[in-house]
Chain A
């Protein structure tokens, strides 16, 4: 069983809302990625999204753009990232890892080769921002190797597309909370709640994670009331950006995530009550 499926089953059984932090692999420093991943888990991460930096991140706001530029300047690439996942797996056999990024690095690496290496390293899923459902034949070798392909759904996604996305989805569906780039401050909860409810009606068993614009404990707790998991990216990446040294980076991650974890658990408990 894929670790993602197992983790969402566990969350459901425990009545908890999942916390999915996103970090850009190699930012703020390539030396501390693995320690940072362990710190995320200790602070309550249920799934880790590891951003694969790309030179042209069209769907990302300035925070993740700059994190990608910093990581690329330090020579971070796919091979090193898979190495880090392998190293992480030696101490953590259970926390799912999803690689998030753009197609070209994988295209150039070779889809079949990447799929084999990613599975061997312990990657569980991929979210390729510029590979919508219509082009998903491109990444079939990834699915064939057992990686979950995580699809996005957005406020602009019409119902017919939504049904198709649900049919093809594996792992979880990532609902983009507004039309915009990552990290923008445009979160309006009412339409997100309505849309997630609609998805839940169509696909009661498919976990739904909500991301884009979730910045703090309050926004995370509000989403915990109706989604299976919350993704926090830009706000975390921004916090980490100014940390130097292993303990500073891991401390910053723990300090940022702890109140969010607490708020999510309180929100889930309240919801269950």
Chain B
């Protein structure tokens, strides 16, 4: 049996109202904050003020709701994977189908929202960083729809392993700029986007794709993704008459995970588990599990768990999934870990691949490699729980973009 996290009154999280964070300084406990160069402080203050105003503006809320319904295709369904559940022989596995959104992942929830903020702030140019390319595609999509210029920074290594998404961005009219500094992956793309922003801050809006970065980004990106958990909570009550026993999602920067988790944080009977990329195995050092194997530090504008050496240098991470290949994590997750409200575990490349195939063959769903980490964790959790318990997994994206990677890994020439 999986232990429920709040059986003990001694738990640090027992008395916290999780809906009230971050505080006005952008802090989740000791995590978060605003660790950026002086030049960005005023622009971030302007963004914070604009966003806090807009999120209470009925016209803005109505426009966002319209886009989410008619453009993104919300609500996304909750699907009971009966055949998979039967095969595993434990708890019932349910999927929140974010893979069915327009552009194929949860990322669009955030970019639709931030693009509307950009428009209201009078910006004419959008920049974004991307790892797997999903956030780049989602940013290019909303930018072209609003007639805004779009530049996407992407690590040269990621460009190589995500060619289809690179081409999709170009089809949508975005310029994709290869980043060749550092490890040439997501973290370096974020550095380069930040450098662009500091240079062009007057007319440019930076759409950060995950719940990291300086305040207000971790809050704003979470708020735009939190519709996932709000919907799921209502759907569970409507379809099953109760909340799930456990919820799980993959965690790179952590936007789909916080999107699902947030509405359930104050539901103390719902256990929360995040699945990080353990790559070749945490013990090998070739992984991207910041929470499971990192330590508190400062990266990309916030204090959070990072993967670094004893000199404080951020070290190279590894994951088969470009979207999880990041040495930091959103500060709210760092806080959820420390308070004990959520636990975070590693899923290896091999476990994610096995789950990818299991889901494909038993349910006819090709999940993204990122989401396959959550599927693997969902299967692990379900196996140890009785048949009448419910495990809700965020299926955050579809796997079409990954078929080349999977084929290459398995020695198949397409």
Contact A135 B33 (CB under 8 A): yes
Q: Is B41 an interface residue (CB 8 A)?
A: yes
Q: Which residues of A contact B195 (CB under 8 A)?
A: 58-61, 181
A42 CB to closest chain B CB (Å) equals 31
B296 to chain A, nearest CB (A): 8
Interface centre among B296, B297, B315 (most CB of A within 10 A): B297
* Interface-lining segment among A32-40, A49-57, A191-199: A49-57
- Determine if A129 and B311 form an interchain contact, defined as CB atoms under 8 angstroms apart: no
A186: chain B residues at CB < 8 Å are 199
Contact partners of B300 in chain A: CB under 8 A: 56, 58
Residue B365 lies at the interface, judged by CB distance under 8 Å to chain A:
no
- Chain A residues whose C-beta falls within 8 Å of the C-beta of B38 in the assembled complex: 132, 151-154, 156-157, 176
In angstroms, Cα B187 to Cα A60, docked, is 15
Give Cα A132–Cα B214 distance, bound, in whole angstroms.
12
| Chain A residues whose C-beta falls within 8 Å of the C-beta of B308 in the assembled complex | 55, 104, 108
The verdict on B301 contacting chain A, using a C-beta distance below 8 Å, is yes
The answer, yes or no, to whether A161 is at the interface (CB within 8 Å) is yes
CB distance A108 to B312 under 8 Å?
Answer: yes
A134 pairs with B199, CB closer than 8 A: no
Per DSSP, chain B at the interface is mixed
Residues of B contacting A181 in the complex (Cβ-Cβ under 8 angstroms): 195, 198-199
Name the B residues within 8 Å of A269 (CB-CB).
Answer: none
Q: How large is the interface on A (under 10, 10 to 19, 20 to 34, 35 or more residues)?
A: 35 or more
Q: What CA separation (Å) do A138 and B181 show in the bound complex?
A: 29
A222 at the interface (CB under 8 A from B): no
Please indicate the chain A residues that have their CB under 8 angstroms from the CB of B296 in the complex.
107
**A106/B312 contact (C-beta < 8 A), A58-B195, A130-B35, A134-B25 known:** yes
A-B contact number at CB 8 A: 125
In contact, B42 and A104 (Cβ under 8 angstroms): no
State which of A57, A134, A154, A180 has its C-beta within 8 Å of the C-beta of B191.
A57
Separation of A256 and B300 alpha carbons in the complex (Å): 34
Number of interface residues of B (CB under 8 A): 38
Chain B 188-234 residues near chain A, CB threshold 8 A: 188, 191, 194-195, 198-199, 201-202
B182 close to chain A: CB less than 8 A: yes
Q: Give CA–CA (A106, B35) in the complex, Å.
A: 14
B306 contacts partner chain A, Cβ-Cβ < 8 Å: yes
Partner of B34, one of A108, A134, A180: A134
Cβ of A241 under 8 Å from chain B? no
Q: Does A184 belong to the interface (CB within 8 Å)?
A: yes
A179 contacts B by Cβ under 8 Å:
yes
Please tell me if the beta carbons of B181 and A65 are within 8 angstroms of each other in the complex.
yes
Report yes or no: B299 in contact with A132, Cβ–Cβ below 8 A. no
A158 at interface by CB-CB < 8 Å: yes
Chain A contacts of B299 at CB under 8 A?
A: 56, 104
Q: Which among A58, A66, A130 has the highest number of chain B CB atoms within 10 Å?
A: A58
Q: B188 contacts which chain A residues (CB < 8 A)?
A: 56
Inter-chain CA distance A134–B301, complex, in Å, is 12
State which of A54, A130, A153, A184 has its C-beta within 8 Å of the C-beta of B199: A184
Tell whether A155 is near chain B: CB-to-CB under 8 Å.
Answer: yes
Distance between B270 CB and nearest chain A CB, rounded to angstroms: 34
- Asked if residues B41 and A156 are in contact (CB atoms below 8 Å), the reply is yes
User: Please, how many angstroms separate the alpha-carbon atoms of A157 and B46 in the complex?
Assistant: 12
B312 close to A132 (CB less than 8 A): no
Contact assessment for A132 and B181 in the assembled complex, using a CB-CB cutoff below 8 Å: no
How many Å lie between the Cα of A134 and that of B37 in the bound state? 11
Could you tell me the distance between the alpha carbons of A175 and B409 in the complex, rounded to whole angstroms?
51
Interface flag for A30 (CB, 8 Å): no
Q: A56-B191, A184-B199 are in contact. Are A107 and B297 (CB under 8 A)?
A: yes
As a 0/1 sequence over residues 23 to 40 of chain B, the CB contacts with chain A under 8 angstroms (1 = contact) are 001000000011111111
Of the residues B25, B34, B39, B187, contact of A56 by C-beta under 8 Å: B187
Report chain B residues within 8 Å CB of A69. Answer: 181-182
Restricting to A61-111, which residues have a CB under 8 Å from any CB of B? 61-62, 65-66, 69, 72, 77-79, 102-109
Give me 5 other A-B pairs in contact (C-beta within 8 A), A56-B300, A107-B312, A181-B198 excluded: A54-B313, A129-B37, A130-B298, A156-B40, A179-B201
Minimum-distance CB pairs A-B, first 9 = A105-B312, A108-B312, A77-B311, A152-B38, A154-B39, A180-B199, A103-B298, A104-B312, A59-B37
Interface set of B (CB-CB < 8 Å, partner A)? 25, 33-43, 181-182, 187-188, 191, 194-195, 198-199, 201-202, 295-301, 306, 308, 310-315
10 residue pairs of the A-B complex, CB under 8 angstroms, read A55-B308, A56-B188, A59-B198, A72-B313, A102-B298, A104-B312, A106-B312, A108-B312, A156-B41, A179-B201
Report which A residues bind B (CB closer than 8 A).
54-62, 65-66, 69, 72, 77-79, 102-109, 129-135, 151-158, 161, 176, 179-181, 184, 186
